[in-house]
Amino acid sequence: MVDILFIGLSLSSILLLVALGLAVTYGAMGIINMAHGEMVMIGAYTAVMAKIWLGLGLIASIPLAFAVTALAGLAIERLVVRRLYGRLLDTLLATWGIAILLQQAIRLEFGLSFLGIHIAGLGSGLQNVPVPAALQGTVRLLGHDFNAYRIFIVAMTAVLAVATWAVMYRTALGMKVRAIIRNPQMAAACGIAVARTNALTFALGSGLAGVAGVLMAGFKTVAPDMGATLVVDGFMVVVTGGVGSLLGTVAASGLLGEFNALVAMASNDIIGRAAVFAVVIGVILLKPAGLFTFKGR
């Protein structure tokens, strides 16, 4: 039982990193970014390419993946999303199209495969990133053996969650983001550069998703469509926890991840996932604003 709960905790950690970016971008900008899962994929491929071309290990590729995906997110916001604020359906369709384009760009090696040029690390084949030797094997804690790499995932997620909280509640950028979440028109009237703040927020959320991709690459094969389902899971966490609430995002990711693990242990993965959907639907029916929301005035 303890092993199952720990596996659920490690999966919840990945889900939390994906959902944190969605929580701040959806809460501040009011957009549904269907390309968020592709930021996870880009982060994973950054780790693959860093290993092949730069000789960097999985841990060393984490800051590089954060930077690459943050820049990719910034480009998407500047070129596409910024022109579609206030048009929820248009933004959803546009980012869905971007997601498809990014997948095909990796699968076709940015079109170079048509010219017979192969880039090592890209393509439609499956890729792997080796786990560092120090994180292989198990660690014995409290009479139980735990996978060392999964411990690293939980620890890294905790550090990034605390860092995100610090950015949101202890920096000027976070104050601006929270003001925009509450009332973007009033925030703009008070002199906050809403467009610039949104761009930085989008980049931060994309960077966190990129880190999630690197961590996933250590225990899952890397493929162009690996992030397609994660965006749905991420939005389930955001909706369950409450839009714009970091506490709600953390709580919902843990709740859904552990519930999925327990149900899957008792039956199978398909029923576990169906049970998670049932829980999310129940929360939406009983508390449409989520489990943790801002208090109204």
Model pLDDT for residues 80-97, shown as the tens digit of each residue? 998 888 788 888 899 999
Q: Does residue 297 have a pLDDT over 50?
A: no
Say if 259 falls within a structural domain. Answer: no
Domain assignment of residue 20, given as a range = 2-114+129-226
pLDDT band at 77 (very low <50, low <70, confident <90, very high): very high
The token duo for 196 is 């610039």
Say if 249 falls within a structural domain. Answer: no
Question: Over the chain, what is the mean pLDDT?
Answer: 85
pTM attached to this predicted model: 0.89
Say if 107 falls within a structural domain. Answer: yes
Average pLDDT, integer, range 39-50: 94
Say if 122 falls within a structural domain. Answer: no
CA-based nearest residue to 107, from 194, 6, 224, 211: 224
Say if 90 falls within a structural domain. Answer: yes
Say if 57 falls within a structural domain. Answer: yes
| Count of domains for the chain | 1
Could you read off the pLDDT of 58-76 as tens digits, one per residue? 999 999 999 999 999 999 9
Residue 47: what pLDDT? 95
Residue 60: what pLDDT? 93
Could you read off the pLDDT of 227-242 as tens digits, one per residue? 888 888 888 888 888 7
Q: Is-contact 241 251, C-beta < 8 A?
A: yes
Say if 176 falls within a structural domain. Answer: yes
Between 231 and 8, the more confident residue is 231
Residue 293: what pLDDT? 65
**How far is it, in rounded angstroms, from Cα 166 to Cα 162?**
6
Say if 251 falls within a structural domain. Answer: no
**Which class for 102: exposed (0-12), middle (13-18), buried (19 or more C-beta within 10 A)?**
buried
